[in-house]
């Protein structure tokens, strides 16, 4: 954590420091590294009072000249020792201090041995850390090592930490779950310090400024904005994933069908009976059972298998069952109120009847077709759809005379660059072809077929000007109810084409459909490699709240594992979007192209319309670092061009008196809704 505030500068008020402490405590952060200098004495007093461990760091860094200064040069010896001595003598009586650090990125040499020896002789109660010269330190430390490197570390002589990891620049902190699996499974590994806590920026009139905003050149751009909270102390979405992975109570399914779970207490001094706990069993959005775990006497650093008594109806078709377990503070503390959640886990209960029955389209109202020049009109009892035969697009979709779309659902392969996309694989340069073909495509064919008086198919084929050519086909199956099944088939032209940032459909709907309700992960923004802090459930919000104020505009607003989502007006009329079985949903008043380029959120051109992306998949955000290929999303979270892709969505008109959960479970022969085993 750096000492910085957008208005207070480098001299923080006690109120700001306390706010930082309270955020740390509430989000399960138990230690802080004073990077890269001793902090204001008040900070240590607050850490003592509230219970935060401190790695206290000497004010010594020679990053760009570390091979020359201070090394073993005798002219620097007294200065180096004096800096360590000043820190230790000032801070040694603070019980919060766990570790002394000799500095940051200042190279090796005898001067560090002199510093260590002085500390060992004068204050031997705490270990000495120094990542640059692990041979002389009391512990081993790395920066930005991978989770697999953590797993393989096996020095029997020293404990191991990451003094910097999970570079949190912009929309980042993917893979944190993997690091904590590695920490939990290596007895030598003791955790790490995320880089870093708060964005470094200065307040200007209507934005937070960073390098280059004052005409300064050279500059480092927004590279110092890598916190899990913003410079003005607003929470960013990553912090919920941090809270989840940092929780000191681990829960694992042992025999979940019979309610058996293992609870592991990773607290050093606290029995789990010091907390309240609760559990609830959900059948989709319906609470069917709840209670508490009674036998919860689990001592520090021990584990126990407990049994939760519940039952489900295994014959209930299409239902997903979720067991949610929560731990809360039993009493109000200095840092949080009674009932504050400190840990949770969600388990999916298998249901053999998770496939719904098909419905018979013959029961639907009849529809008719009219060809009118370049327009193909499909009309039914309450619906009117119009396709443009020249570009293959659905240009109008009306339900009871209410227009549901503004721009047609079209193939989209692009997302706005994240900071990690810019720094790790130069997405705009390497993969810009996917931006180009998201904007324009060439219609190859447009055909329609009347299946029955209740059902029509529209088949649209596009070529995409990649080299070699890629193709994208959409088959619209339209029913008399207004249901549209969109079968998508994407065939990349060559496996050597670049990675695809995002894969799905993008469309605009009128701004009046501002109310969003979804069944998936939430409530906050999440991505496939940063989603475990966001349980699956039913959530409600406004589209405007999907906006995230990253200091530099970039990809934002995603939700994963979405079964369905509705966008409705104040009367409850609108659209229901259904995945097969899941999808990723992104909704903003901006396109990915609007977000690319502006330096500050206030400069983004906002759309009046709502821009929806229904994604089969979006790349993860990565974040092991923000400057090399090792910081890219893991292979399993990339979208490669070495295979063809098929995926379906369903669009349904909906009114306030209809149940989206029930409607989403309807089985069409084109859309077999089988719930995933997540």
pTM of the predicted structure, to 2 decimals: 0.95
Residue 656 burial class via C-beta count within 10 angstroms: exposed 0-12, middle 13-18, buried 19 and up: exposed
Residue 355, pLDDT score: 62
Higher-scoring residue by pLDDT: 559, 314: 559
DSSP bridge pairs for 245: none
Please write the tens of the pLDDT for every residue from 260-281. Answer: 999 999 999 999 999 999 999 9
Mean pLDDT of 562-577: 98
Domain ranges of the chain: 14-237, 249-349, 367-664
Say how far apart CA 660 and CA 665 lie, in whole Å.
9
Please write the tens of the pLDDT for every residue from 640-670. Answer: 999 999 999 999 999 999 999 999 988 776 5
Residue 353, pLDDT score: 63
Q: Would the pLDDT of 401 be above 50?
A: yes
Mean pLDDT of 178-204: 97
Mean pLDDT of 612-629: 98
Residue 360, pLDDT score: 82
Nearest CA among 96, 97, 103, 88 for reference residue 136: 103
Say how far apart CA 263 and CA 281 lie, in whole Å.
18
Give yes or no for a contact between 89 and 56, defined as CB atoms under 8 angstroms apart: no
Residue 317, pLDDT score: 80
How many CB atoms sit inside 10 A of residue 360's CB? 9
Q: Would the pLDDT of 676 be above 50?
A: no
Residue 110, pLDDT score: 98
Q: Where are the beta strands (DSSP E) in 548-624?
A: 558-568, 574-588, 610-618
Residue 673, pLDDT score: 39
Backbone angles phi, psi at 423, to 5 degrees: -85, -30
Q: Would the pLDDT of 677 be above 60?
A: no
Q: What does the mean pLDDT of the chain come to? A: 96
Residues serving a catalytic function are 105, 164
Residue 141, pLDDT score: 98
Q: Tell me the CA distances in angstroms from 535 to 175, 521, 561, one per residue in order.
A: 17, 5, 10
14-237 fold:
TIM Barrel (3.20.20)
Please write the tens of the pLDDT for every residue from 282-333. Answer: 999 999 999 999 989 999 999 999 999 999 887 788 899 999 999 999 999 9
Please write the tens of the pLDDT for every residue from 349-375. Answer: 987 665 666 788 888 999 999 999 999
Please write the tens of the pLDDT for every residue from 107-158. Answer: 999 999 999 999 999 999 999 999 999 999 999 999 999 999 999 998 889 9
Say how far apart CA 116 and CA 113 lie, in whole Å.
5
CATH number for the domain formed by residue range(s) 249-349: 2.60.40.10
CATH architecture of the domain with residue range 367-664: Distorted Sandwich (2.70)
């Amino acid at each position: 954590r750096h000492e910085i505030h957008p208005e207070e500068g480098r001299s923080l008020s006690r109120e700001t420091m306390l706010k930082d402490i309270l955020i740390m405590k509430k989000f399960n952060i138990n230690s802080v590294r004073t990077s890269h200098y001793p902090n204001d004495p008040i900070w240590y007093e607050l850490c003592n009072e509230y219970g935060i461990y401190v790695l206290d760091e000497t004010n010594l860094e020679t990053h760009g000249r570390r091979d020359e200064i201070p090394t073993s040069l005798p002219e620097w010896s007294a200065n180096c020792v004096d800096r360590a001595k000043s820190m230790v003598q000032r801070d040694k009586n603070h019980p919060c201090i766990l570790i002394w650090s000799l500095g940051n990125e200042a190279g090796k040499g005898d001067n560090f041995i002199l510093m260590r020896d002085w500390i060992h002789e004068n204050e031997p109660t705490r270990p000495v850390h120094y990542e640059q010269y692990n041979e002389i330190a009391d512990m081993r430390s790395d920066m930005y090592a991978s989770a697999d490197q953590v797993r393989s570390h096996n020095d029997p002589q020293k404990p191991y930490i990451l003094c910097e990891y999970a570079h949190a620049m912009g929309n980042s902190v993917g893979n944190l779950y993997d690091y904590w699996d590695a920490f939990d499974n290596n007895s030598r590994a003791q955790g790490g310090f995320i880089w870093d806590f708060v964005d470094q920026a200065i307040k200007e009139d209507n934005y937070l400024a960073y390098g280059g905003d004052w005409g300064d050149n050279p500059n480092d751009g927004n590279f110092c904005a890598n916190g899990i909270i913003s410079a003005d102390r607003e929470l960013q979405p990553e912090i919920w994933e941090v809270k989840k992975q940092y929780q000191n109570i681990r829960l694992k399914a042992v025999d979940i069908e019979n309610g058996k779970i293992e609870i592991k207490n990773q607290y050093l001094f606290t029995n789990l009976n010091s907390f309240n706990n609760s559990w609830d069993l959900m059948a989709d959005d319906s609470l069917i059972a709840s209670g508490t775990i009674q036998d919860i006497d689990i001592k520090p650093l021990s584990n126990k298998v407990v049994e939760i008594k519940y039952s489900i109806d295994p014959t209930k078709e299409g239902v997903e069952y979720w067991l949610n377990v929560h731990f809360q503070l039993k009493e109000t503390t200095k840092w949080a109120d009674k009932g504050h959640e400190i840990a949770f886990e969600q388990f999916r209960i298998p249901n053999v009847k998770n496939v719904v029955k098909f419905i018979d389209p013959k029961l639907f109202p009849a529809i008719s077709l009219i060809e009118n020049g370049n327009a193909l009109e499909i009309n039914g009892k309450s619906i009117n759809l119009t396709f443009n035969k020249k570009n293959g697009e659905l240009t109008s979709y009306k339900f009871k005379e209410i227009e549901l779309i503004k721009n047609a659902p079209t193939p989209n392969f692009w997302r706005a660059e994240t900071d990690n996309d810019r720094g790790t694989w130069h997405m705009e340069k390497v993969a810009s072809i996917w931006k180009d073909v998201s904007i324009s495509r060439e219609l190859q064919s447009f055909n329609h077929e009347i299946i029955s008086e209740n059902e029509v198919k529209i088949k649209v084929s596009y070529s995409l000007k990649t080299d070699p050519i890629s193709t994208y086909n959409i088959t619209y199956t339209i029913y008399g109810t207004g249901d549209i099944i969109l079968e998508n088939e994407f065939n990349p032209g060559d496996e050597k084409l670049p990675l695809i940032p995002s894969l799905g459909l993008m469309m605009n709907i009128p701004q009046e459909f501002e109310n969003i309700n979804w069944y998936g992960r939430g409530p906050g923004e999440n991505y496939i490699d940063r989603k475990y802090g966001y349980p699956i459930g039913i959530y409600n919000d406004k589209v405007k709240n999907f906006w995230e104020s990253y200091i530099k505009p970039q990809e934002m607003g995603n939700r994963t594992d979405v079964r369905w989502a509705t966008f409705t007006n104040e009367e409850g009329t609108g659209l229901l979007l259904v995945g097969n079985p899941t999808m990723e949903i992104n909704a903003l008043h901006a396109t990915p192209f609007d977000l690319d380029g502006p330096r500050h959120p206030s400069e983004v051109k906002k759309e009046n319309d709502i821009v929806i992306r229904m994604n089969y998949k979006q790349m993860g955000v990565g974040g092991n670092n923000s400057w090399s290929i090792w910081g890219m999303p893991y292979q399993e979270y990339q979208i490669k061009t070495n295979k063809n892709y098929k995926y379906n969505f369903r669009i349904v008109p909906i009114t306030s008196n209809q149940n989206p959960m029930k409607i989403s479970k309807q089985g069409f022969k084109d859309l077999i809704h089988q719930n995933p085993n997540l």
